[in-house]
Structure 1
Amino acid sequence: MRPRSVPSKLVAILAFLALGAAAVEPAQAQSSAGVPAWLATHVGEGPGQIALPVLLRARALYQQKSSQGAVSNPCYMAMDATRPNDPGGGRFYVICEGAHAFRAMPAGHGAGRNLPGVADFSNGRRCARNFGNAMDSELTAGGVYVTSEAKTSFKGYYRVAGGQNAAFLRTFIQFDGEGETANARQRAIGGHASVVLKGLCMRKQPASPYANGEGLVPYGTLVDYAGGRSNGCTSWSASDIHQILPMVQNNPTTLYLYPSAADVTAVARAVAAGQSPARAGAYWNASCLGEIRAPRYWPKQTLEPLIAQYKRDHPAPPPRPIPLCAGP
């Protein structure tokens, strides 16, 4: 892959990447897997490293989309959802080969759901056992993605230092998928900050540009759930998304999210046969595999009818209006 010039708008992200990357001298040599020597120094399963199968998939996807003219971004992304969800570690990667920049950062995974009496496909905070692409499953689906538009929405106000109120605006980066992930847009799968407003109430503030027809705006408590789980989207810390957003806004790039459905199935079969995934030619993070024992993929053809049946048997109560805030 030929080095690309780096647009000025990416200077900030490259500086950010450099903070998390070891200083590596430029090198022209290629590793045995075709990975540039500087990048090969980041390959492994230790903290801040990327597993080789994940990197190879991400590079192949990026090179394919670049050659097709689908992306021209000098950076690409990868995620290894088999690794622990450790706020102090990293399983989401941004790689800019032309600038010899590599950064690993934390990212959340899909929480899944527990439907009592029907199916339990929920995930713990640290390691994900269940994966899938069903609507309303809140599961992560691995595979091919390309970033698309970014939409910023007002979520409400929250209290900041000095007793002042601040508007909470959260940006959502839409992902478009292919194959097993082709329904990413229908599922509203993308990336956003792991921050949410909880305990909402409505307060009179007619001068606010966000006030509704009655002059009311929502207020809540800002909660940072970095290191937690998501509704199936990729969630980053607030500081990390502020660096990722300038890189992908109006400049699509690729994301390979590991594991795919085939990977999950291969590892599950290896475990059932008493083999290690590596000996069976598959990859899974050893630490998480020890916790989950075996992963499971829930295809939409299997899971969506179960979710639909649960909804019919347990209809949601009528929506309740957000209450008015107590006090001034």
Structure 2
Amino acid sequence: MLPKTLHLTVVATVSALLLMASSALATERSEDIPDWLQNHVGTGEGKIAPVILQRARLLHQRKLREGAVSNPCYLAMDATRPSAGPGGEPGRRFYIICEAEKSFRAVSSGYGNGRKLQRANFSNGRQCAKNFSNAEGSKLTAGGAYVTAETRTSFKGYFTQSGERVPFYRTFLLFDGEGETDNARERAIGGHQARFLKWQCRFQKPDSPHADDEGYVPYGRLVDYTGGRSNGCTTWSEEVSAEILALVEGNPTTLYIYPESGDVDAVAAAVRKRQSLVQAGLYWNAQCLNHIGTPRFWPKRDLQPIINAWRDSLPQYTPKPLPICN
């Protein structure tokens, strides 16, 4: 086994070489980017960083060649961007790109909020993501290559709308990953509407297909967390969620999420050495980097045992039935 200091040096060197190779390949292909799309490239609000667009396009082109997808549109996400824009509106860090239609949209999306455990604090703040991981149960975002898969719609409970109690259903779009993200299904990683039902009580509705053995259904308050944090999934507003689901239902496409583990490690190393990211050929949103200090990627091999031990330490819990609604 290599000494720890030597191991870290090897990891940093390999990460830097991979980033240089990726950057060189992306530069070769950057000339293929049409002029109308070049107008959306940049680091400002509503723009997509060059490295993210280049990698997203390369992933989409590769999957088209492989026959894995035929959808002319593709998706990308920049998880280094802040949750709120300059005016306090949800920050735009998710991209829907349809080159055939010359269409580019930058919309809001959530990132993983993580956990704060006794042995490890890998939680993220509301504005910027500092921690990333591919460990199951980490509730963190893992950057890399994905392909959208099937959808699953589930009943969440009843809520009040226009004075009536109506059911709330939420559709979940599954992702299939590769490489470090190949455990996306194990982690239940995908995309869905940024709303959940906070249960408060239950009421009798025996005619509901969702009623329990006693004829009760759960009732709660609908909470919208558009642009905020999630359990590691990609989350969108109600409008954007409907648009994306219509775009990929039965017609999968690619999704590239930045940053990957190598990006996080390389940026962290540059920050510690007080190097300029631009001069080092690296990218991170400047506002968030200033906010979080040094980002960190928690590999599954390191974090999974901590999460599993925490789970094993939890006492047995039997959920209590919801109170009856007034």
TM-score range relative to shorter protein: 0.7 to 0.9
CA distance in 1, matches of 2:317, 2:274: 49
| Equivalences for residues 1-328 of structure 1 within 5 A | 33-86=31-84, 87-116=89-118, 118-161=119-162, 163-313=163-313, 315-327=314-326
202-211 or 179-188, larger mean C-alpha shift: 202-211
* CA contact 1:147–1:253 (8 Å) conserved in 2: yes
CA shift digits 1:294-314 (9 cap, x unpaired): 10000110001111222233x
263-272 or 78-87, larger mean C-alpha shift: 78-87
CA distance in 2, matches of 1:70, 1:31: 21
Distance apart, 1:325 and its partner CA: 2.3
318-327 or 194-203, larger mean C-alpha shift: 318-327
| Structure 2 unmatched ranges of 5 or more | 1-27
- AA aligned to 1:91 is R
TM-score of the aligned structures, taking structure 2 as reference length: 0.88
TM-score of the aligned structures, taking structure 1 as reference length: 0.87
* CA contact 1:125–1:227 (8 Å) conserved in 2: no
CA shift digits 1:11-68 (9 cap, x unpaired): xxxxxxxxxxxxxxxxxxx995431111000001111110000000000000000011
Question: Is the partner of 1:115 in helix, strand or coil?
Answer: coil
* CA contact 2:136–2:187 (8 Å) conserved in 1: yes
Number of residue pairs aligned between Structure 1 and Structure 2: 295
The structure where helix makes up a greater share of residues is: 2
CA distance in 1, matches of 2:290, 2:205: 52
- AA aligned to 1:112 is G
**What is residue 13 of structure 2 aligned with on the other side?**
none
CA distance in 1, matches of 2:133, 2:277: 20
| Structure 1 unmatched ranges of 5 or more | 1-29
* CA contact 2:159–2:167 (8 Å) conserved in 1: yes
CA shift digits 1:182-207 (9 cap, x unpaired): 00000000000110011332211001
* CA contact 1:131–1:297 (8 Å) conserved in 2: yes
Question: Is the partner of 1:105 in helix, strand or coil?
Answer: strand
Question: Is the partner of 1:247 in helix, strand or coil?
Answer: helix
CA shift digits 1:140-192 (9 cap, x unpaired): 0000000000111010000112x211110000000000011000000000000
CA distance in 1, matches of 2:30, 2:181: 31
Distance apart, 1:89 and its partner CA: 3.0
- AA aligned to 1:52 is P
CA distance in 1, matches of 2:161, 2:55: 43
CA distance in 2, matches of 1:228, 1:267: 24
* CA contact 1:200–1:322 (8 Å) conserved in 2: no
* CA contact 1:31–1:37 (8 Å) conserved in 2: no
- AA aligned to 1:76 is Y
**Could you say what the CA RMSD is over the residues aligned between the two structures, in angstroms?**
1.4
**What is residue 25 of structure 2 aligned with on the other side?**
none
Question: Is the partner of 1:196 in helix, strand or coil?
Answer: strand
* CA contact 2:90–2:226 (8 Å) conserved in 1: no
CA distance in 2, matches of 1:69, 1:266: 33
Question: Is the partner of 1:88 in helix, strand or coil?
Answer: coil
CA distance in 2, matches of 1:95, 1:252: 14
- AA aligned to 2:131 is N
Identity of aligned residues (%): 55
